[in-house]
């Protein structure tokens, strides 16, 4: 059950269950289900069957499974399910760099950015990578380019978050809309205190999340690796060891 304590020594209980549907998606499921039922009632089978499959697809897209969230102090967790497609040294976005309203920013220096691409088959609920206080939530309107492209970080519709840990370390991350995505939905606002792995928002129908790591921290994931939001350890603060992998 969500909230139960588990560990790596066998403590706790685990079992498979049907994932619940996030409330944000229930209205879409009801609309397509009603349309499928109405067309079936009118004996329009060629329309009813596609609508029925669309209903299942919508419900699957908005699934919200529970996650076992590691609780070690210095871990940075993946905020999104998906594929690590880019790892680059870049300056953080302007919205995360400078001081704003008395809250410090990430600064001008280049940071390691890890980009996680979410296909329409991935869970699209995004989670906080660390525990702390939400210092900024900045929405930027933009284009709807392929979210897998590098320039999507600067051109696409996006939403920036800045989280400050209790020790003052700042983690920035950005939700980026893609070709199909048409709305970014936040669940938190500036001033909110979040736990690591807490749900903080979603992006509808395919997108990407960029994470800007603190100085002196390198990722513990590889290009091409699949991540699970709230479970995969993306990095450990202060750890800059190089990693190599083999695709096989």
List the catalytic residues: 207
Residue keyed to tokens 């399910």? 81
CA distance 248 to 243: 16
Residue keyed to tokens 């048409």? 182
Task: Say if residue 151 is exposed, middle or buried (CB neighbours under 10 Å; 0-12, 13-18, 19+).
Answer: exposed
CA dihedral defined by 58, 64, 65, 67, rounded to 10 degrees?
150
Sign of the torsion angle spanned by Cα atoms 124, 128, 133, 136:
negative
Contact between 227 and 77 (Cβ < 8 Å): no
């Amino acid at each position: 059950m969500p909230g139960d304590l588990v560990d790596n020594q066998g403590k706790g209980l685990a079992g498979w269950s049907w994932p619940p549907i996030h409330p944000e998606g229930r209205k879409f499921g009801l609309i397509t289900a009603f349309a499928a039922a109405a067309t079936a009632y009118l004996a329009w089978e060629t329309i009813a069957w596609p609508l029925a499959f669309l209903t299942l697809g919508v419900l699957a897209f908005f699934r919200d499974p529970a996650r076992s969230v590691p609780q070690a102090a210095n871990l940075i967790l993946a905020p999104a399910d998906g594929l690590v497609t880019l790892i680059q040294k870049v300056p953080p976005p302007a919205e995360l760099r400078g001081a704003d309203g008395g809250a410090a920013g990430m600064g001008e220096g280049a940071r390691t950015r890890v980009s996680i691409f979410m296909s329409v088959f991935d869970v699209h609920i995004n989670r906080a990578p660390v525990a702390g206080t939400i210092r900024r939530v900045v929405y930027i309107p933009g284009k709807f380019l392929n979210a897998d492209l590098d320039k999507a970080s600067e051109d696409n519709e996006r939403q920036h978050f800045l989280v400050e840990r209790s020790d003052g370390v700042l983690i920035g991350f950005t939700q980026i809309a893609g070709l199909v995505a048409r709305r970014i939905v936040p669940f938190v606002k500036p001033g909110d205190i979040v736990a690591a792995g807490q749900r903080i928002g979603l992006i509808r129908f395919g997108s990407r999340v960029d994470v800007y790591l603190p100085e002196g921290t390198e990722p513990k994931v590889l290009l091409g690796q699949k991540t699970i939001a709230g479970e995969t350890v993306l990095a450990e603060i202060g750890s800059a060891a190089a990693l190599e992998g083999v695709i096989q």
